[in-house]
Structure 1
Amino acid sequence: MNKIKMTALMISLLLVMSIFAGCADNGPQTGESGKTILKVGTDPTYPPFEYTNDANEIVGFDIDLAKALAEKMDMEVEFVPTSFDGIFNGMNAGSYDVIIAAISMTPSRMETMLFSKPYLSNGQVILTRKDAEKISTQEELKGMKVGVQLGTTADTAAEKYADEYGFEVTKFDEIIQTFSAMKAGHVDAIAVDYAVAIEYVQREPESYQISDVMLTNEPIAVAIKKENTELHEKIDAALLEIREDGTLKKISEEWLGGDYTSDIDEELDVVE
């Protein structure tokens, strides 16, 4: 009798599992507007690209970009907040369709995912306190503590050059923590995306300065799951539209105070 009950229970469980499996839909989903949803993975701790404002809204350069692309593709955008150190795994697992989160193009990343045409000039720059002596060469980093965000290309580049130029790398989960650490004197410099450095200097010119040291050249683009070639083509077409109609330039001027979307140097100079 117990065996019969156990068998019946197992059959019931299998039926329930099959029902849920049948309900799972890994294909395109439709939003309240009736349009197909574009799920965007982003890390809302990285101003001016994506961050949460005082009204608890995710805003920034990449957020406006994603909305503009979705509009051109006649899609409804949905943002999926994700920590940067797990953002690529999330896309591969199907949690979202694309990543729009200041993603630098690198050869190794291009082997595992698709990239749109780059939409923003970028490289890893060294930023220091305003009251510090401005540095102009990598050799001047000797003896310094350099803060980076964990898992970023700044992290990779700093690790690469640390032994060669004799500086120490200190890693943080969020980019804002690196700036807080430098203000508190825990780090002497920060390696960070050029656009982020610009934003912080514009916001607090009395606190920060951008050095002449550029560690890399790595333009920023939309990352797309490797096999999703159809979406890749649509995003490139939409990106071309917002470039030609001036929307992309306008977004750059609003968030970065200038146009960093034209004349992008697409020749990668990346540390991996």
Structure 2
Amino acid sequence: MKLKQMLIASLCLLAFAAQGFASDIELAKKSTLNKIMERKELRIGLDPGYQPFEMTNKKGEVVGFDVDIAKELAKSMGVKLTIVNTDYDGIIPALLTDKFDIILSGMTITQSRNLQINFADPYIVVGQAIILNKNLKGKVNSYKDLNDPKYTVASRIGTTGEMATKRMIPKAKYKSFDKEADGAMDVVNGQADAFIYDLPFGVVFMAQHGNGKAILLDKPFTYEPLGMGVRKGDPDFLNYLNNFLRQIKADGRYDRIYDKWIKSTGWFKNM
């Protein structure tokens, strides 16, 4: 009797295992990774207005840190790369409606975004910094000093810069901009006291437009990992992306891209 029960139990376990295996196969078939390989094209969604991650050069080409990462990703798959130019405030809905395969657009991994999409492991960590009106030198030394109704603070709409400003500098008057360069120029032109945005942008903007016209408080006051965003329910694609990131960080490709766009300023002349 016991032997018969054990055989029945074993058969049930095998049936469940087979069912689970079949489900895994079906899930793999539906993976974005499979679709990319079938169409031989990787579609990347980005908004080319975030230096040095994605921007348009004098030739009208979209270039930058994220674009070079995307090129390496497409090369690793042996497929064509297509850049899908998308406004940042609609980039998550565009991913969810299959306008492209991945968001690779300087997107900070946040809990609210993670409720809508999944993220691969961070490929770089940045934080919010302050481009400050030059007349406030010595008066404002951190974001805490800006938390006063007498100051006007700006950032880009729909970004973590805006979130950080509203959360950490709630007493200041707030101005939002569609493009980060416009908000930073508002400080240079004396129409805002500070612009809050990611440190890499602050460094680039100051080198191009801010010398002697504004001050960069370059100690980030937030921790912000950037990641590639993908649709939920796709573990195979996430696995591929995470292994890809480990590989390029280990073999020197990532360092070359980082040095080219983050450490160097040689690309300024082509913008």
TM-score > 0.5 by shorter chain: yes
Aligned-partner Cα distance in 1 for 2:206–2:189: 17
Aligned-partner Cα distance in 2 for 1:222–1:121: 13
Query: How far 1:74 sits from its partner (Å)?
Result: 2.2
Aligned-partner Cα distance in 2 for 1:113–1:153: 16
Query: How far 1:29 sits from its partner (Å)?
Result: 5.6
Aligned-partner Cα distance in 1 for 2:219–2:152: 15
Query: How far 1:35 sits from its partner (Å)?
Result: 6.7
Contact 2:187 2:214 in 1 (8 A): no
> 2:160 — aligned with what?
153
Query: How far 1:63 sits from its partner (Å)?
Result: 0.7
Over alpha carbons, which structure has the higher Rg? 2
1:120 maps onto 2:96 in alignment:
no
Larger mean CA deviation between 67-76 and 88-97 belongs to 67-76
Question: The residue matched to 2:83 in structure 1 has which SS?
Answer: strand
Aligned-partner Cα distance in 2 for 1:177–1:85: 16
Question: The residue matched to 2:158 in structure 1 has which SS?
Answer: coil
Aligned-partner Cα distance in 2 for 1:219–1:29: 26
Q: 1:248 to 1:35 in 2, by over 3 A?
A: farther
Aligned-partner Cα distance in 1 for 2:86–2:162: 18
Aligned-partner Cα distance in 1 for 2:120–2:214: 32
> 1:228 — aligned with what?
234
What are structure 2's unaligned runs of at least 5 residues? Answer: 1-31, 265-271
Query: How far 1:28 sits from its partner (Å)?
Result: 2.4
Amino acid at match of 1:218: E
> 1:108 — aligned with what?
112
Show the 5 A alignment for 1:198-209: 198-204=203-209, 205-209=211-215
Aligned with 1:247 (options 238, 242, 253): 253
> 1:270 — aligned with what?
none
User: How many residue pairs get matched?
Assistant: 228
Query: How far 1:249 sits from its partner (Å)?
Result: 1.4
Show the 5 A alignment for 1:122-141: 122-130=126-134, 132-134=136-138, 135-141=140-146
Aligned with 1:192 (options 170, 189, 197): 197
Contact 2:199 2:218 in 1 (8 A): no
Aligned-partner Cα distance in 2 for 1:177–1:49: 17
Query: How far 1:227 sits from its partner (Å)?
Result: 2.1
Superposition TM-score, scaled by structure 2 size: 0.77
> 1:170 — aligned with what?
175
Aligned-partner Cα distance in 2 for 1:61–1:212: 20
Identity fraction in percent: 27
Query: How far 1:131 sits from its partner (Å)?
Result: 5.3
Query: How far 1:47 sits from its partner (Å)?
Result: 1.5
* Off by >6 Å, runs of 4+ in structure 1: none
Contact 1:137 1:212 in 2 (8 A): no
Which whole-Å deviations, capped at 9, do the CAs of 1:153-197 have from their partners, x for residues lacking one? 11111111333xx21110001111112212221111111011111
- Identify the structure with the greater helix proportion: 2
Aligned-partner Cα distance in 2 for 1:188–1:63: 32
Query: How far 1:91 sits from its partner (Å)?
Result: 0.3
Query: How far 1:147 sits from its partner (Å)?
Result: 1.2
1:217 maps onto 2:234 in alignment:
no
Query: How far 1:214 sits from its partner (Å)?
Result: 3.4
